[in-house]
Structure formats: C-alpha cells, structure tokens
Amino acid sequence: MVSQPSNTRRRLRFAGVAAVAVLAVVSLVATACSKSSSSGSSGGTVKAAWIYVGPTNDGGWTQAHDNGRKFVATELGGKVKTTYKENVKEAEVAPVIEGLVKDGNTIIFATSYGYAEPMAAAAAKYPNVKFEQATGDLITAGKTTPSNYAEYWGAGEDTLYLSGVAAGKATKNNKIGIEAPFAIPEIIRHINAFVLGAQSVNPAATAKVVWTNDWFNPTAEKQAAESLVSAGVDVIFSHQDSPSAGEVAKAKNLPWVGYDSDQSGAYSSVWLTTATYNWGPRYLSRINAVNDKTWKSDNYYGTIADGFTTLATFGTIVSADTKTLINAELTKAKNAGATSFGWYWGQSDRQDQSGAVKIKKGQTLSQKDLYEMSWFVKGVDGTLKN
C-alpha cells in the first residue's frame, strides 16, 4: 500500500519505569468511554469487546458497527457479554486493548484502520485472546501476523459504484463533489469506483475531492461540503462517519450520497443512496466460533452476493429509470456469487489522471490489487495527499 498519512500511522512507544507505564495505561483507558451489556451472568459466556474511533451515535460508521454488536447480544443472549470503548483515537488504542484483555475479554474487534498494528502486537503478546481488525491490510499485504489475529472488510466499492450511477444521473453540470478522510487505498478505491459508476451513465461526469484529515469530525465535514458547493458542484458524496454534509446538501437543495448508513428518512428531499454494511452476521459467526472452539484466523472480504454490503433505500429524488438500472446491476451481482466481486473494473481500459492505462479491458482485480490502489481515475480533480 502507499505510505499512510501520519494520522493513521502513528505509533505509541512505551518507555521508562513500570510505574510510569501503568499510569499511562490507566489514564488513557479512562478517557475512552466504556459500556457493556449482557443478558446473563459472565460465567460460561464469551466476553467480547469492540473498539470504536467515534461515538456510537455518529449516524454512520461507528453506529453501524455498534448495531452489529447489539445484534450479537440479541442473538446470543446469556452466551455473550459485550462491551465497547468509543471515541478511541488511533494513536491511543494500545493501552485500551491492554485494558480490555485484562478485563477478561476473549475476543476483541477493532473498527478503525489505524488500530491494525497495535492489534497485531497485542495478538502476539496474548495468544489466548482472539483479535479481529476491521479494514486491516496486514494479511493481504503478506505481513506475518499471529495465528490469533484476523482481518475483515468487504467490497464497499461495489455498492459505491452503484451509488455513483445515481450521482451520475443526478448531476446537471457534471460536477460532483467528494469529501473524504484520508488518501489511503481504502478510500482511493472507493472514490474511483464511485466515479466510474457516475461515468458509466454520464461519461462527462467529473469529481472534485477535498480531504478532511479525520474519520469523524462534523465541523470539518461541514466545512469541506461548503467548500465543494463554493467550487460549483451540484451533487455531494460524503465518505465520512457522520451525516454532516447532508445538512449542507439539504440547505442548498443538492442531491447527496452519504456513507455506511441509510439517511433516507432524515434527508429525504436530497438523498440518493449509498453503500451500507451488515456487520452483525460476521460478528455473530466469529463469536460462535470462539464458543465452539472452531475459531481460525481469516481475511474475510464480504460482497454484495453474501449480503455483507448493499444499498441504502433510494431517496425520493431518484427516478424510476435510475432505480431500475441500479437494481438490475445489484441483482446480477447477487446472482453471480463469487464472480460479482468488482465486475466493473475491467469493463474498459481504466486510465489514471494523466491518461495512463492502469487497468486493461477484461482485467480482473484481486483483493491485493484493491488494497494497493494508489491512483485516481481520469475525471477526478484531487491530489493523492491529505
């Protein structure tokens, strides 16, 4: 993968006497909000913990993961005791992990990209605990990881491609604005897929990208959306953890694509659709595997076909013809099974911003190819640096 911005590559280094280290752990763990829920006693139950980069009511990424946690608690009842830490900065996750291990959790799910290496380090230190990293890329990159460490993610780019179709149909001046957190391959491939979707129905469509340098920052997200409006875009795609850009879209009456949550109710007058993720089944299967002692390390990448990712409800401004077009693509992806993975990348030669062909017609991309994507498709106005 490309080199990461400092926001996502910060590392904690512990030095000094033991007393100082203990005080640091206690202080940092205390700053992360923690809550737990259980339908029964802790005896004989699996203790499972989640670590979140934002609040559980962010209206997006973290809330979706927490819905998955609640799904597990409902499905398993007294067989599981769940807990979570919210608002944990990536640079401060290591002692939070330590605290969750000391609390007796036997499986820990970390849900932000910058948590990956501290999670892998903890896995090496605590072989009897299972560590699961969302959006991690260590395994795909071929790095050596402990046998009690796993990664999970999914093809959100596929449903963002379909969201891009809605945006391409909605724009009148062919200028789409995109606000996004960091210039890392995960975000780059999502932007590329979205733009390709827009261009599949509107070849003249272009996209301007603005970076917020944060996963969850409603103020920065709103300011980024406003800057895009000032630049003349007439459709907004917000690849952020909150729906703040929706407020700007609503005020300006501009079509809007959010990210990872269905905002069709709160923003019905401007909502198009977006990619959503169903985390619950993954969490349930992994905790069941711990319970029946069948857990093994894996590198899961969910798809439309297996139900991991799908589209949010269409907004009322999406035309019937556009819905029909998108739903036909969605159905084909569902029915194609494993071959549904990234079907659009090789539909024609794909050029980068300079015009160089990066993907040839007929070429298929592997998970590793996607995890290493470090270029923007032609038609994107934006830099690859935050």
Label residue 184 by pLDDT band (50, 70, 90).
Answer: very high
**Can you tell me whether residue 36 is helix, strand or coil?**
strand
In this model, does residue 219 exceed pLDDT 60? yes
Average pLDDT value over all residues in the chain: 90
Q: What pLDDT was estimated at residue 36?
A: 57
Q: What are phi and psi of 290, to 5 degrees?
A: -65, -45
CATH superfamily of 156-277+314-381: Response regulator (3.40.50.2300)
Contact in structure between 246 and 267 (CB atoms under 8 Å): yes
Same fold, 6-154+279-302 and 156-277+314-381: yes
Residues 199, 383: Cα–Cα separation, whole Å: 20
pLDDT attached to residue 254 = 98
Q: Quote the pLDDT of residue 261.
A: 93
Confidence bin at 337 (pLDDT 50/70/90) = confident
pLDDT score of 133: 98
- Average pLDDT over every residue of 307-317: 97
- Burial class for 165, CB neighbours closer than 10 Å (0-12, 13-18, 19+): buried
Q: Mean pLDDT across the stretch 335-340?
A: 78
> Cβ atoms within 10 A of the Cβ of 20, count?
11
- Residue 200 pLDDT > 70, yes or no? yes
pLDDT at 57 over 70: yes
Residue 23, pLDDT > 90, answer no
- Supply the DSSP symbol for 314: P
DSSP SS3 for 382? coil
Predicted confidence band of residue 340 (pLDDT cuts 50, 70, 90): confident
What is the average per-residue pLDDT within 297-302?
Answer: 97
**CA–CA gap between residue 161 and residue 291 (Å, rounded):** 37
For residue 54, what pLDDT is reported?
A: 96
Binned at pLDDT 50, 70 and 90, residue 3 comes out as: very low
Six-digit token string for 40:
């029964």
In angstroms, the CA 353 to CA 383 distance is 10
Residue 315 — left, alpha, or beta (φ > 0 → left; ψ -120 to 50 → alpha)?
A: beta
Q: What is the mean pLDDT of residues 340-364?
A: 95
Q: Quick one: fold of 6-154+279-302?
A: Rossmann fold (3.40.50)
Token look-up 């015009």 returns: 355
Rounded distance, CA 289 to CA 266, Å? 38
pLDDT band at 24 (very low <50, low <70, confident <90, very high): very low
Average pLDDT on 114-138 reads 98
Beta strand 46-51 pairing with 380-381: unpaired
Point out the least confidently predicted range of 7-11, 130-134, 197-201, 376-380.
7-11
Mean pLDDT calculated for residue range 291-318: 96
pLDDT for position 18: 36
pTM of the model: 0.88
pLDDT of residue 10: 33
- Write down the domain spans for the chain: 6-154+279-302, 156-277+314-381
